[in-house]
């Protein structure tokens, strides 16, 4: 029984990292199912300059100041710890434009390593504070996850697939996605947000039952 799962994320969204971990725990609750996963792009900050923005200025604009940001980060750190993530928000000096990292994830699909690359990008940004809007930085991240550094760098320094990433973002918005993560199962069921494994499993079961019903008809 194979489920096709499209996961819409933004690489600068900490809840997407939490959601990925919870999704993986949900899969462990249903070891008998096969999945085909495709990672899709979304931009929480579609107007972000290509060079990114100083983290302090971004936090001020997004949250209205550090006090509110600390409150948000506190809840995120608690959620992260439950999933084995040690968020290091203090290490982040710049909030990047995420298109480049989305292009890397799409590039990784050609080599069958999309999910490991997603993990590596999340780790680089949220644990190490690396600027994932810089081609050389991303190419090194990709190299640590099994991609060739030079090939990846050449790809990132081109503009290949930029139009596809922007189109994915636009399509998600047209479909009504206004927050991430969002998990779409068999193009029928959607799970919005970093839901618990138990909630995600319920949707898996609905999709599986659909397939069983279709076979029995």
Q: Give pLDDT tens digits for 65-88.
A: 878 888 889 999 999 999 999 999
Q: What is the pLDDT of residue 213?
A: 86
Q: What is the pLDDT of residue 216?
A: 73
Across the chain, mean pLDDT equals 96
Q: What is the pLDDT of residue 18?
A: 99
Distance CA 91, CA 201 (A): 34
As beta bridge partners, residue 39 has 7
CB distance 102 to 140 below 8 Å: no
Overall average pLDDT of the 31-38 stretch = 95
Q: Which domains can be identified in the chain, with CATH numbers?
A: 2-216 (3.40.30.10)
pTM of the shown model: 0.95
Reply yes or no on whether the pLDDT at 215 is more than 90.
Answer: no
Assess whether the previous peptide bond of 150 is cis (omega < 30° from 0): no
Q: What is the pLDDT of residue 193?
A: 98
Query: Which secondary-structure segment (H or E) carries 57?
Result: helix 55-63
Q: What is the pLDDT of residue 164?
A: 98
Q: Give pLDDT tens digits for 86-136.
A: 999 999 999 999 999 999 999 999 999 999 999 999 999 999 999 999 999
Q: What is the pLDDT of residue 65?
A: 80
Who contacts 34 (Cβ-Cβ below 8 Å, separation ≥6)? 1, 2, 3
Distance CA 98, CA 100 (A): 6
Q: What is the pLDDT of residue 217?
A: 66
Grade residue 46 by pLDDT with cuts at 50, 70 and 90: very high
What is the chain's length?
217
Query: Which secondary-structure segment (H or E) carries 3?
Result: strand 2-9
Grade residue 202 by pLDDT with cuts at 50, 70 and 90: very high
Q: What is the pLDDT of residue 63?
A: 86
Q: What is the pLDDT of residue 67?
A: 85
State the helix-helix crossing angle for 149-157 and 135-144, rounded to 10 degrees.
Answer: 150
Overall average pLDDT of the 14-32 stretch = 97
Q: Please calculate the CA angle 70-132-158 and round it to the nearest 5 degrees.
A: 150
Answer with the residue of higher pLDDT: 61 or 96: 96
């Amino acid at each position: 029984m194979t489920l096709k799962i499209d996961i819409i994320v933004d690489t600068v969204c900490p809840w997407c990292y939490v959601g990925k971990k919870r999704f993986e725990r949900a899969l462990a609750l249903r070891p008998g199912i096969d999945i085909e996963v495709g990672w899709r792009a979304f931009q929480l900050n579609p107007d972000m300059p290509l060079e990114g923005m100083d983290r302090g200025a971004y936090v001020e604009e997004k949250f209205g100041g550090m006090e509110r940001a600390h409150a948000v980060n506190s809840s995120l750190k608690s959620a992260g710890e439950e999933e084995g993530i040690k968020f290091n928000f203090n290490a982040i000096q710049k909030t990047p434009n995420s298109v480049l990292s989305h292009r890397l994830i799409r590039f990784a699909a050609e080599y069958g390593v999309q999910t490991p690359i997603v993990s590596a990008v999340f780790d680089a940004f949220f644990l190490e504070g690396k600027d994932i809007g810089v081609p050389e930085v991303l190419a090194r991240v990709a190299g640590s996850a099994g991609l060739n550094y030079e090939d990846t760098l050449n790809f990132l320094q081109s503009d290949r697939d930029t139009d596809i990433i922007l189109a994915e973002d636009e399509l998600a918005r047209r479909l009504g996605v206004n927050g991430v993560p969002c998990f779409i199962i068999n193009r029928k069921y959607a799970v919005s947000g970093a839901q618990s494994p138990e909630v995600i499993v319920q949707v898996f079961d609905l999709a599986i039952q659909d397939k069983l019903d279709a076979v029995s008809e």
